[in-house]
Amino acid sequence: MIRSEVLKSIVPVLDGRLVVCNIGLPSQELHLLHDQPSTFYMLGTMGLASSIGLGLALAQPDKVVAIDGDGSVLTNLATLATIANNVCDNFVLLIIDNGSYGSTGDQPTYAGRKTSLAAVATACGCAHVIECDAAETADVLRHALESDRMTVIVCKCESGNIPVPVIEIPPVVIRDRFMAAVKSRAAS
């Protein structure tokens, strides 16, 4: 399975959830597969999906899924230490690890070589770290969301991309409709 297939498989789990999605192809693919106001698409700023997701989870009680990539986590590796030390049980970090920088032409990352992001997360102090095969991702993610405990999932999949259009929604609209979705949960 490649990343777009993993994303397709988790769409039913993400439906209606607060989602922060990584820059580039992951956001474009998710936008194509299942656009919803409660998904925050990153149009720039590589590496910060997990940080935005953690900040969001710390600021309000609803569950948050941050979808990150191996290359992006490697640019902000210390995020795993921040996550470990600021436990919030409404936060799930899903790292889709295809061992490559997908959005820039599938150049290999170190995560596809010697470096285990699951081991790094564990060493940082994250208590619940699960490495899974691509096909298991939907079940693992669903279980993590039901478990009421902060979880880091590293989904190992193949590299490869599908052609997808860029996201044309203006950033302020993405942010505004996302915040409205957050607010409507707080009200209900």
Partner 1 sequence: MTDSLSQKIVDDLVANQIAFVTTVPCKQLAGVIEAIEDCERILHVPSNKEDEGMGLCAGAYMGGKRPAIVMQNTALGVTLNTLATLIQFYQIPLPMLISYRGEIGEKVACQVEMAVHTKALLNQLAIPTYHFHRPEDAAELDGILKHTQMCKKPSAILMDATFWRGAA
Q: Which residues of the shown chain bind partner 1 in the complex (CB under 8 A)? A: 20, 40, 42-45, 47-60, 76, 78-79, 81-82, 86, 171-172, 174-175, 178-179, 182-183, 186
Q: Report in angstroms how near the CB of residue 106 gets to Mg ion at its nearest.
A: 8
Residue placing its CB nearer to partner 1 in the complex, 168 or 172: 172
71 binds Mg ion (CB under 5 A): yes
Residue placing its CB nearer to partner 1 in the complex, 113 or 172: 172
The item of partner 1, Mg ion, none sharing an interface with residue 172, based on CB under 5 to 8 Å by kind, is partner 1
Q: Report in angstroms how near the CB of residue 130 gets to partner 1 at its nearest.
A: 23
CA distance 138 to 59: 26
The item of partner 1, Mg ion, none sharing an interface with residue 81, based on CB under 5 to 8 Å by kind, is partner 1
The item of Mg ion, partner 1, none sharing an interface with residue 73, based on CB under 5 to 8 Å by kind, is none
69 binds Mg ion (CB under 5 A): yes
The item of Mg ion, partner 1, none sharing an interface with residue 48, based on CB under 5 to 8 Å by kind, is partner 1
70 binds Mg ion (CB under 5 A): yes
CB 54 within 8 A of CB 91: yes
The item of partner 1, Mg ion, none sharing an interface with residue 57, based on CB under 5 to 8 Å by kind, is partner 1
User: HEC states along the chain?
Assistant: CEHHHHHHHHHHHHCCCEEEECCCHHHHHHHHHCCCCCEEECCCCCCCHHHHHHHHHHHCCCCEEEEEEHHHHHHCCCHHHHHHHCCCCCEEEEEEECCEEHHHCCEECHHHCCCCHHHHHHHHCCCCEEEEEHHHHHHHHHHHHHCCCCEEEEEECECCCCCCCCCCCCHHHHHHHHHHHHHHHHHC
Residues in binding contact with Mg ion, number by CB under 5 A: 5
Amino acid letter, 3: R
Binders of Mg ion among 100-119, rule CB under 5 A? 102
Distance of CA 168 to the CA centre of its chain: 21
**Residue 154: phi, psi to the nearest 5?**
-110, 110
Candidates 4, 27, 98, 103: give the one binding Mg ion (CB under 5 A): 98
For binding to Mg ion (CB under 5 A), which residues are involved? 69-71, 98, 102
